[in-house]
Amino acid sequence: MKTKFLQVIAATLILGISGVAVSQETDSSWDDLTESEQRVLSPYAEQWESLSPERQQRLADGARRFAEMNADERAAARDRFQSWRNLSDDDRAQIRDRYRQFQNLEPREKERIRDNFQRFRDLPPDRRQALRERFINMTPDQRQKVRERLRDRQQRVRPRAMDRPN
């Protein structure tokens, strides 16, 4: 009994110490960032130390990706970021929720959605706008029927890998 108790205490101490070590490894000070990362993340300089390690890591990763972009990609990223910042908190929360839902989909369903989106992007701008307006003016039931028709058509056009002959 005493041995079991000591083992539990030892395990708790080891886990506690390793947890501190892991959190110290993931904490990054502002000075650990490169000059280009600091430049990109300058709006966060004052609050950097108070951000969670996960948030610091996400921001640092984004700054690294930004540094690797060419001028056109950076301009597009700035535009997307500004659009994001202009959204209401509710809109951002809804987008985050939809993203989480997308991440939980089966790979085949993700691929279907990406394919449909790419086909939409390949349409001429006036045709895209007409489709947007038509979709916006639909009732929720009509929208659901369109989604179901598209899903059914996609399955008829592209059989699943397991349904294809070898």
Residue pair 31/60 in contact by the 8 Å Cβ criterion: no
Cα 153 → chain centroid? 28
pLDDT for res 112: 86
Cα–Cα distance between 63 and 98 in angstroms, integer?
Answer: 24
Decide if 49 is inside a domain. yes
Cα 163 → chain centroid? 31
pLDDT for res 165: 54
Decide if 10 is inside a domain. no
pLDDT for res 9: 47
pLDDT for res 136: 92
Decide if 151 is inside a domain. yes
Query: Could you read off the pLDDT of 16-29 as tens digits, one per residue?
Result: 544 444 444 445 78
pLDDT level of residue 161 (50, 70, 90 thresholds): low
Domain shared by 121 and 77, yes or no: no
Q: What is the domain extent for residue 111?
A: 106-161
Count of alpha carbons within 13 angstroms of residue 47, beta-carbon side: 8
pLDDT for res 71: 93
> Treating both helix axes as pointing N-terminal to C-terminal, what angle do 2-26 and 53-67 enclose, rounded to 10 degrees?
30
Decide if 27 is inside a domain. no
pLDDT for res 116: 87
Residue pair 60/28 in contact by the 8 Å Cβ criterion: yes
- Please determine, for residue 11, whether its predicted confidence score (pLDDT) is greater than 90: no
pLDDT for res 2: 47
Cα–Cα distance between 106 and 82 in angstroms, integer?
Answer: 31
Structurally, the chain folds into a number of domains equal to: 2
Domain shared by 77 and 114, yes or no: no
- Per the structure block, which two tokens stand in for 134? 């038509």
Look at the block and give the residue holding tokens 């959204």: 87
Report yes or no on whether pTM surpasses 0.75: no
